[in-house]
Structure 1
Amino acid sequence: MRSDLARALELTAGAAQVALRHFHGTLGIDIKADESPVTVADRETETALRRAIAETFPGDGIYGEEFGSEGMERARIWVVDPIDGTRSFIAGVPLFGLLLALVADGVPELGIVRLPALGRVYAAARGQGARRDGCPIRTSGVTRLDAAMLFVNEGEKIHADRPDLFARLMGAGRLRRLSYDCQPHALLAEGRVDAVVDYRLQPYDYLPLVPLIEEAGGVITDWQGRPLGFGRDVAVVSAASPDLHRELLALLNS
């Protein structure tokens, strides 16, 4: 797994350059069937990463946001999100990410979160700890929600579907921020944020986060406390400690 992580970091570094070229250039934007935007940058970045994975790990499957899946019956599957945060990307906000996970026998074993415009990379492999730019990181270890910095991702969707829950979240935590995409979860892994509530995610959005947060000492599950797999429209919660995670589950399900 150590050599897999080193090679995966190289592959994502190359693909991140594809995304950055478009970020600083002119974008072609289309709207997908689910009304979410997609750019030529999403497609070209995923194409580059899929090609590199196929050449480097020819026996593995691939599951990507833009071009679907192949080899899902195989023991090892690479999960690709070329640009997590396309709306931020389009708007020139530099908080978009490039995500990659390796799922082996159904378990997320390796995760990479690159923030190309910020020049940061978060990475973890099962049993090897979590790192930012090569340096070890840990969650804050905060155990109580009333002491926590809480980030709420996709707040407008939660408000539209569950206004009662949104109101509870807006009264929770020591401090709170409305946010989007992968960066808040990465900040949790390095101890800057204590909890993140997220909503209606796909496997490529959350599977790369699992090894990163768990190896940093945190907990990440769905809102019922179940492990994350290849589900659709999944509500996700990550926390800096098991005690904080339990308190969040109680709030989400009260």
Structure 2
Amino acid sequence: MPPVRDAEVVLGLLRSAAEAARSTFERCLADGSPGGMRRAGRRPGQYAFDLVVDDAVLGILDGAGMGVLSEESGLTGHGDDSGLVVVVDPVDGSTNASRGIPWYACSLCVVDPDGPWVSVVMNLATGTLYEAVRGAGATRDGAAIAVADTARLSDALVVLNGHAPTHFGWRQFRALGATALDICAVADGSVDATIDCTHDALGPWDYMGAMLVLTEAGGLVVDAQGRELATLDHSARRTPVSACNPGLLEQALAARGKR
């Protein structure tokens, strides 16, 4: 396949990869409870279905002339033909998936020399599909989305990752367990902010696809320590905080502090 440079072509490729992830995971479910498929792998908490779905996604992306940075399989290729790299989390929210909680996703984001360019995030339980192209907005199941207008943290519904050491001043909070979908929920206005309370626990595959969806929907996401989020370093870990507007983001960062 020649190098891909058209955003619609790339979106089609990412959709196909996400559909392959969903159908492959559904086959894993049909074969037996995924909760029984935990295996010793390269990292703690890795499930057999993580690797099986990763293989299916890479099978779609193979030959597209792009490098791939996957949580499960690392960096394959370097995008030499196109300058593009696809950042992949085949199953974000694996614990949810293993327990039948319908909040887990396949996240894919194509990065070019200017940063995140095209992304697709699919809820693998429901099929809900988020898409974004840099400079062209974001959609949920084909309909344009936009963030909420909540101005104060005291009025906000906030999604947490990890354990908050204290009440940050939100109105309500949730802990849902899949960062990609959490940030997409800010993008479509379902929630107002996300705060990662861990210390450098998230890799770029966890947030990169949703980051583009959110920024194209009018929101913001930054690292709590001020570092660049758009990294292709497989060993990099970040602490993303997102919000529907700059004022709320500032309040969320101040409440969290540099913990």
The answer to whether TM tops 0.5 is yes
Aligned-pair distance for 1:24?
4.0
Q: CA–CA distance in 2 between the matches of 1:31 and 1:142?
A: 44
Aligned match of 1:205 = 206
Following superposition of structure 1 onto structure 2, how do residues 6-155 of structure 1 map, counting pairs within 5 Å?
6-26=12-32, 27=34, 28-39=37-48, 41-55=49-63, 57=64, 59-72=65-78, 74=80, 75-105=83-113, 107-155=115-163
Q: CA–CA distance in 2 between the matches of 1:31 and 1:91?
A: 18
CA displacement, residues 109-128 of structure 1 (integer Å, 9 cap, x when unaligned): 12211112112111111011
| Alignment TM-score, normalising by the size of structure 1 | 0.88
Aligned match of 1:172 = 169
Aligned-pair distance for 1:33?
4.7
Q: Does 1:253 align with 2:257?
A: yes
**Structure 2: stretches of 5+ with no match in the other structure:** 1-6
| Bigger fraction of residues in strand | 1
Q: CA–CA distance in 2 between the matches of 1:71 and 1:242?
A: 37
Q: Does 1:236 align with 2:224?
A: no
Q: Does 1:223 align with 2:224?
A: yes
CA displacement, residues 94-141 of structure 1 (integer Å, 9 cap, x when unaligned): 211111110111501122111121121111110111111111111102
How many residues matched?
A: 240
Q: Which amino acid aligns with 1:201?
A: L
Q: Does 1:2 align with 2:8?
A: yes
Aligned-pair distance for 1:142?
1.8
- 8 Å contact kept, 1:151–1:177: yes
Percentage of pairs with the same residue: 28
Aligned match of 1:162 = none
Give 3-state SS (helix, strand or coil) of 1:30's partner: coil
Q: Which amino acid aligns with 2:10?
A: D
**Structure 1: stretches of 5+ with no match in the other structure:** 160-165
Give 3-state SS (helix, strand or coil) of 1:117's partner: coil
- 8 Å contact kept, 2:13–2:61: no
Q: CA–CA distance in 1 between the matches of 2:227 and 2:203?
A: 15
Aligned-pair distance for 1:73?
6.3
| Bigger fraction of residues in helix | 1
CA displacement, residues 31-75 of structure 1 (integer Å, 9 cap, x when unaligned): 335422322x211211111121123x1x21111111111223642
Q: Which amino acid aligns with 2:161?
A: N
Give 3-state SS (helix, strand or coil) of 1:7's partner: helix
- 8 Å contact kept, 2:68–2:75: yes
Give 3-state SS (helix, strand or coil) of 1:114's partner: strand
Q: CA–CA distance in 1 between the matches of 2:20 and 2:42?
A: 29
| Alignment TM-score, normalising by the size of structure 2 | 0.86
Distance 1:137 1:234, change over 3 A: same
Aligned-pair distance for 1:150?
0.9
Give 3-state SS (helix, strand or coil) of 2:53's partner: helix
Q: Which amino acid aligns with 2:53?
A: T
Q: CA–CA distance in 2 between the matches of 1:62 and 1:240?
A: 30
Q: CA–CA distance in 2 between the matches of 1:229 and 1:171?
A: 27
Q: CA–CA distance in 2 between the matches of 1:234 and 1:61?
A: 22
